[in-house]
Amino acid sequence: MKSLLYSAAIGMVAMIPAVVSASPLSLEQGLELAVQRSQAVVAARSGALASTQTARAAGQLPDPMLSVGIENLPVTGPDRMRTTAESMTMKRVGISQEWVSAEKRALRQASALAMAERESASALAAAADSRLQAALAFVDAFYASEALVLTKLNERYALEDFEAAKARFASAGASGQELLQLTAARGVAGDDSAEVEQLHASALAALQRWVGVRPEGLERPALPASMSEPAFVAAHPAVWQSQRDIDLARAEAASMASNRSPNWTWQAAYGQRTGYSDLVSVGVNIPLPIAPGERQDRETAAKLALVDKALAAHDESTRMAVAEFRTLTSDGQRLSQRIVQYQTGVISPVKQRVQAALAGYRSNQVPLMALFEARYAEVQAQRKLLGMQRDLAKVQAQLAFKPVSGGVQ
């Protein structure tokens, strides 16, 4: 039954690329594929699983020790190597158990659990990074495809104007200079398309590195709202992991401090002699910490120093996260303002210029080259607007996907 379920699951996963490639890829689909494919996430999750298993074993007592032997066996004289000739010869079997107090075992388990939490935090951080990198690649690919649409449109305008100029030149309605200008303009438009096609191909290759498929199309990315500053800082990967480092360092320091109380080892043995009574031995081994200030206390001090180190790293990562949030927020606000101003101060005038040039051409008052230049200026302005929109989307993606998913909780 398990093998059938496993085969079905593998089949469903194998179908994902085919389904995705057959229709436009959404941002959310891309992010999910990126997390599924990330080997960094797989490695981090395996580390978390290993630490969890170690934590379960940390709370157990050490395994008991079985001892078997022969004591006082003659090795010289006529009775050498005989186990029944000498009354002092004894066959012995015993068992010993190191006893670790429940409190000390609980501290060891807490330390192991803190390590498991740290590894789990690394897995969440790896997933967040995969989502962020996939989102940035998705934004680049989407806006590269939008820019390609514009340059292809401009290339079509150049071809139409060139064909019109060629027909007018054949009927002596246009000069040879205008035809040459439009020929060059057509070449410029074609080179613009070739440049954007190169950028588009590179962006798709970068996206495919994360999602595993080359999508036929991309949906406009719908980016979620960004967090508040406290939430962003608390869920920032560096802060999130440094907090786990503090927890781990404190747990290890507490576990190390418990070593000032030594573990006792209990022993019991049964001895068998020939012709004499059997013997039973019971004892206990007690370590003597003769210089705790030079050993146990120094080991504890070393762990406490690591706590201070983790606290300092946490403070530094918090400052870095605050600065990153404020920088991204400022960039997003300024880009939004620039986009509004650009649409009003540049996009609207160039559109009006195109309409005026088209009307003038239809009334034979404006040459074809002037119409092409107006259209070309509009395309260039739209490309710059797309660039600003892309930069804004990337800022929003960092604000939305940089934090560890679920980090605040």
Amino acid 260: pLDDT: 86
Average pLDDT for 52-80: 87
pLDDT at 22 over 70: no
What residues are paired with 282 via a beta bridge? Answer: 268
Of the CA atoms within 13 Å of residue 321, those in its CB half-sphere come to 25
Q: Would the pLDDT of 404 be above 60?
A: yes
pLDDT at 235: 93
| Percent of the chain surpassing pLDDT 70 | 89
Q: What is the pLDDT of residue 315?
A: 96
Q: pLDDT by residue (tens digit) across 75-108?
A: 888 888 887 878 888 899 999 999 988 898 889 8
Residue 170 pLDDT level (bands cut at 50, 70, 90): low
Which H helix or E strand runs over 97?
Answer: strand 90-99
Q: How far apart are CA 124 and CA 404, in angstroms?
A: 6
pLDDT band of residue 168 (cuts 50, 70, 90) is: low
Q: CA 75 to CA 83: how far, in whole Å?
A: 10
- 292-318 pLDDT tens trace: 887 888 988 999 999 999 999 999 999
Q: Mean pLDDT, to the nearest integer, of 192-196? A: 88
**How far apart are the C-alpha atoms of 282 and 285, rounded to whole Å?**
11
**pLDDT the model gives residue 313:** 95
Model confidence at 122: pLDDT above 70: yes
Q: What is the mean pLDDT of residues 203-218?
A: 91
pLDDT the model gives residue 175 = 60
For 244-265, the pLDDT digits (tens) are 999 999 999 999 988 888 889 9
pLDDT of residue 167: 66
What's the whole-number mean pLDDT along residues 183-194? 82
* Per-residue confidence band for 233, with pLDDT thresholds at 50, 70 and 90: very high
- Mean pLDDT computed over every residue of the chain: 85
Q: Which pTM value belongs to this model?
A: 0.78
At residue 319, does pLDDT exceed 60? yes
- Average pLDDT of 28-32? 92
pLDDT reading at 117 higher than 50: yes
- Residue 12: its pLDDT value, please? 36
Q: Quote the pLDDT of residue 17.
A: 42
User: What pLDDT sits at residue 160?
Assistant: 73
How far is 206 from 234, CA to CA, in rounded Å? 30
Q: Check residue 338 and give its pLDDT.
A: 95
The pLDDT of residue 409:
35
pLDDT beyond 90 at 343? yes
Which whole number is the average pLDDT over 267-272? 92
Tokens for 355, please give them: 């309409």
Indicate whether 272 pLDDT > 70: yes
- Write down the pLDDT at residue 317: 95
